[in-house]
Amino acid sequence: MAVYTDVSDDALEEFLRLYNVGQLLWCKGIAEGVENTNYILATDKGQFILTLYEARVEENELPFFLGLMNHLAENGLETARPILQNDGLLFSRLCGKPAALIEFLDGMAIKAPSPQNLFQLGVASAQFHLKAESFKIKRKNGLSLKDWQPLLKSCGDDIDKVAPEVDGGLQKFLSVELDFLKKSWPKKLPNGVIHADLFPDNVFFMHGELSGIIDFYFACNEVYAYELAIVINAWCFEKNGELNLTKSRAFFRGYQSVRKLEQAELDAIPTLCRGAAIRFLLTRLYDWINVPEDALVIPKKPDEYIRNLRFHQKIGDYKEYGIE
Amino acid sequence: MAVYTDVSDDALEEFLRLYNVGQLLWCKGIAEGVENTNYILATDKGQFILTLYEARVEENELPFFLGLMNHLAENGLETARPILQNDGLLFSRLCGKPAALIEFLDGMAIKAPSPQNLFQLGVASAQFHLKAESFKIKRKNGLSLKDWQPLLKSCGDDIDKVAPEVDGGLQKFLSVELDFLKKSWPKKLPNGVIHADLFPDNVFFMHGELSGIIDFYFACNEVYAYELAIVINAWCFEKNGELNLTKSRAFFRGYQSVRKLEQAELDAIPTLCRGAAIRFLLTRLYDWINVPEDALVIPKKPDEYIRNLRFHQKIGDYKEYGIE
């Protein structure tokens, strides 16, 4: 939960005058979003999310993030659309922070997605990739292969104690894996803009249908198949650490119903899954070690991704993910 | 901000089936309410607040609190109305906690209320008192005169350091004041159900008009004029510690436009103001000393109420509050 910046009613009304959204009826801080402060507000013209970008999202990247949301919404993807200010801008400042007003999206994140939901997510991911092709701005992935070694280093020398159950120590386990990934990482796969954070928190459903994708603040140019590897890690594992093949099969079926994967992409899936696992493992490890004393959000232990990574290490062929 | 209990979508949908409120569209935890977990949710029939009562609100008191809200709403007071379940109950359990669904109230708390807003609050307070006369259930004030001495004692022997600027020490200052209040507390004033927590956070305004009163969880049977003393403390002081006479005059004018105060009530105002100041001073002191390490809500220092109390101690006559 996170309301880092308290917006006064006066400041809010002044901000809303930059938009043609009618008169404010109410506004409530919501316990959503780890990186930003979010409010839900209503005017006589509708409901909106007000996002104030805190330290971790950089202002100079907002034209990419908000521009992408706008581009995808205009091209018919189910997503939250940023509202344009009267002068055409997508954001300005509120209480000293960059801030944007975003169309409210019906639906909610679900904790127990069905295979049908995974199929829908596959369809939406592929649509995301295709519709983003015509988007002009580019953004480098700030958490790609070459960033993982420095990220591990920044976690310090004392990480073994975070996961004492890892034989030989977590440090060794991760170093060996990073060496493997450096050697095996696929080159020259189809690529473009991906969401890069397609976790269950960021996908809304309503009446059993996918109603929208939110939180574009990790989106970047990357190989498409890496998005699929993230989804397998984030959606398709059971609590006991086993892969739910029905879900991953449904997801790939959905994706390929819109965009057929090339053979090289399919072959790369196991390695990309190891990469996606270590990427989230490392950021969780970093956050776990560096949790501030006044943290409003309790970080998650990286255990789940150690387990996922071990699973992927044993995979010999992409077909073991249920990909047909 | 506070979302202490995480409600799964399945549990929520099951809970909503107890009501005739249509199908769930979305649900978001909101950063509001110190004592409880609150969600805002929408169905195809409207918007609602879902409140889960955490430890501090006792289940056996909910028939009073929710019954009072329902009674006042039915009698035309601007307030949030609890939704009746299909079986006529006002609450049941969700995720092991007592939980109620409450009509969503437009409007928002304001940080800089105008004298007009204070007039409106006076009118609404008096209406609250009169409309609650026909409410059948009673509830003792759990934080009345006789509770203050034990509350002070429970703060321990080391409270002087909380307010080192108090000459002779905070302990002495409060003990002397409590002795005075014990001797001077008015007896037999007009009484009935009061809200007892009419702070700016708990009163919503929209388009400059009072749109509703929320958060009834301190309501109790008490002398009416004590409510007015709470409002003076909570709404009418400037940041520099001076009383804003225009606001307090407007508040009393609004109140008396609905319910005329008796002479005995007027005479008691200065003492009741000292009582209201020490009541909030003591609970803030207690919370300040006992802040849990994992607190989601940062307690407020009691300084403001030390200052208010000092102000009231110098008052010779109720007219100094601008009461006409």
Beta strand spans in B138-265 (E): 191-194, 203-206, 209-213, 220-223
Whether the CB-CB separation of B102 and B91 falls below 8 Å is answered with no
**pLDDT, position B33:** 65
B205-264 residues touching A, CB cutoff 8 A: 206-207
The answer to whether B291 contacts chain A (CB < 8 Å) is: no
Annotation: CATH topology of A9-103? Phosphorylase Kinase; domain 1 (3.30.200)
Which residues from chain A sit within 8 angstroms of residue B105, using beta carbons?
26
Using a 10 angstrom Cβ sphere, with 0-12 exposed, 13-18 middle and 19 or more buried, the burial of residue B296 is middle
Beta bridge partners of A52: A37, A99
- Higher-scoring residue by pLDDT: A257, A55: A257
Are A3 and B1 in contact (CB < 8 Å)?
yes
Task: From chain B, pick out residues whose CB is under 8 angstroms from the CB of A102.
Answer: none
Quote the CA–CA distance of B129 and B194 in Å, as a whole number. 6
How far apart CA B180 and CA B120 sit, in angstroms, is 33
- Residues of chain B contacting A111 with CB distance shorter than 8 Å: 8-10
Type of residue at A294: D
Q: Which residues of A touch B110 (CB under 8 A)?
A: 9
State how far the Cα of B173 lies from the Cα of A15, in Å rounded to an integer: 46
| A170 contacts A192 by C-beta, under 8 angstroms | no
**Whole-Å CA distances, A100 to A43, A96, A188, A203:** 15, 13, 36, 20
Residue of B nearest to A201 (CA): B28
For chain B, residues classed under CATH 3.30.200.20 are 9-103
Rounded-to-integer distance, Cα B146 and Cα B269, Å:
19
CA B103 to chain A, closest CA, distance in angstroms equals 14
Partner A contacted by B44 (CB < 8 A): no
User: Does the distance separating the beta carbons of A3 and B31 come in below 8 Å?
Assistant: yes
Cβ within 8 Å, pair B3-A8: no
- The pLDDT of residue A293 is 66
Q: Report CA-CA distances (Å) from A264 to A224, A228, A254, A261.
A: 12, 14, 19, 8
Answer yes or no: pTM beyond 0.95.
Answer: no
Which residue, A287, A276, A236, is CA-closest to A113? A236
> Rounded to an integer, what distance in angstroms lies between the CA atom of residue A103 and that of residue B268?
52
Quick one: how far is CA A296 from the chain centroid? 20
Sequence-ordered list of residues with C-beta below 8 angstroms from that of A150, at least 6 positions apart, any chain: none
What is d(CA B187, CA A123) in angstroms, rounded to the nearest whole number?
Answer: 72
Per residue in A261-315, pLDDT tens? 999 999 999 999 999 999 999 999 998 988 766 665 667 789 999 999 999 999 9
- Length of chain B equals 324
Q: Which residues of B212-226 are buried (b: 16+ CB within 10 A; e: fewer)?
A: bbbbbbbbbbbbbbb
Mutation for B interface: A28, A52, A95, A102, most B CBs within 10 A? A28
Q: Supply the mean pLDDT for chain A.
A: 93
CA distance B118 to B121: 5
User: Chain A within 8 Å of B322 (Cβ-Cβ)?
Assistant: no
**How big is chain A, counted in residues?**
324
Q: What integer is the mean pLDDT of A129-153?
A: 97
Q: Does A26 touch chain B (CB under 8 A)?
A: yes
Confirm if A212 and A202 have CB atoms less than 8 A apart. Answer: no
Contacts of B49 in chain A (CB under 8 A): none
What is the Cα–Cα distance from A109 to B8, expressed in whole angstroms?
A: 10
Whether chain B has a CB inside 8 Å of the CB on A3: the answer is yes
| Sign of the C-alpha dihedral computed for residues B268, B269, B274 and B275 taken in this order | positive
Which tokens go with A254?
């959905």
Nearest Cα residue to A70 out of A140, A20, A19, A135:
A135
Give A-chain residues touching B26 at CB under 8 angstroms. Answer: 105-108, 204, 206
H or E element in which residue A205 lies: strand A203-206
Coil vs helix vs strand at A183: helix
The answer, for B106 touching chain A at a CB cutoff of 8 Å, is yes
- Number of residue pairs across A and B with CB atoms under 8 Å? 82
- Contact at CB, A296 and B1, closer than 8 angstroms: yes
CB B290 within 8 A of CB B161: no
Question: Are A23 and B112 in contact (CB < 8 Å)?
Answer: no
Look up residue B205 and give its amino acid: F
DSSP state of B5: S
What φ, ψ does residue A43 adopt, rounded to 5°? -125, 180
Identify the pLDDT of residue A1. 40
- Considering the four listed CATH numbers 3.90.228.20, 3.40.50.670, 3.40.50.20, 3.90.1200.10, the one that applies to the domain covering A115-321 is 3.90.1200.10
Q: Is A111 on the interface with B (CB under 8 A)?
A: yes
Kindly report the nearest CA distance between residue B32 and chain A, in angstroms.
7
pLDDT tens digits, chain B, 324 residues: what are they?
456 788 888 899 999 999 999 999 999 999 876 678 999 999 999 999 999 998 778 899 999 999 999 999 999 999 999 999 999 999 999 999 999 999 999 999 998 899 999 999 999 999 999 999 999 999 999 999 999 999 999 999 989 999 999 999 999 999 999 999 999 999 999 999 999 999 999 999 999 999 999 999 999 999 999 999 999 999 999 988 899 999 999 999 999 999 999 999 999 999 999 999 999 999 999 989 887 766 656 677 899 999 999 999 999 999 999 998
Interstrand relation of B97-103 and B203-206 (parallel, antiparallel or unpaired): unpaired
Exposed/middle/buried for residue A112 (C-beta within 10 Å: 0-12, 13-18, 19+): exposed
Strand partners, B174: none
pLDDT for A3 equals: 67
Which tokens belong to A307?
Answer: 């387990």
Chain B CB within 8 Å of residue A31 CB: yes
Give the DSSP H/E element, type plus range, for residue B181. Answer: helix B170-184
CATH 3.90.1200.10 residue ranges for chain A: 115-321
Contacts of A30 in chain B (CB under 8 A): 28-31, 40
Distance between B256 CA and the closest CA of chain A, angstroms:
29
The radius of gyration of chain A's CA atoms, rounded to the nearest angstrom, is 20
**How far from chain centre, in Å, is Cα B250?**
20
Does the structure show a pLDDT above 60 at A89? yes
Check CB contact of B23 with chain A, cutoff 8 Å: yes
Query: What is residue A2's predicted lDDT score, i.e. its pLDDT?
Result: 56
DSSP code for A285 = H
Task: Tally the C-alpha atoms within 13 A of residue B39's C-alpha that lie toward its C-beta.
Answer: 22
Residue of chain B whose Cα is closest to the Cα of A206: B25
A176 touches chain B (CB under 8 A): no
Q: Using the beta-carbon criterion (under 8 Å), do A26 and B204 form an inter-chain contact?
A: yes
pLDDT cut 70: percent of chain A above it:
96
Reported as type and span, the H/E element at residue A93 is strand A92-94
Q: Round the CA-based radius of gyration of chain B to a whole number and report it.
A: 20
Are B206 and A26 inside 8 Å of each other by CB? Answer: yes
**Cα of B216 vs its chain's centroid, Å:** 7
The per-residue pLDDT for A241 is 87
CB contact under 8 A, B106 and A26: yes
Residue among A24, A25, A31 whose CB faces B29 most closely:
A31
Instruction: Test B25 with A112 for CB contact under 8 angstroms.
Output: no
Contact assignment for A107 to B26 by CB distance below 8 Å: yes
B22 contacts on A by Cβ (under 8 Å): none
Task: Kindly provide the residue ranges of all beta strands, DSSP E only, lying in chain B, ordered along the sequence.
Answer: 24-30, 36-43, 46-53, 92-94, 97-103, 191-194, 203-206, 209-213, 220-223
Nearest to A15 by CA among A104, A86, A105: A86
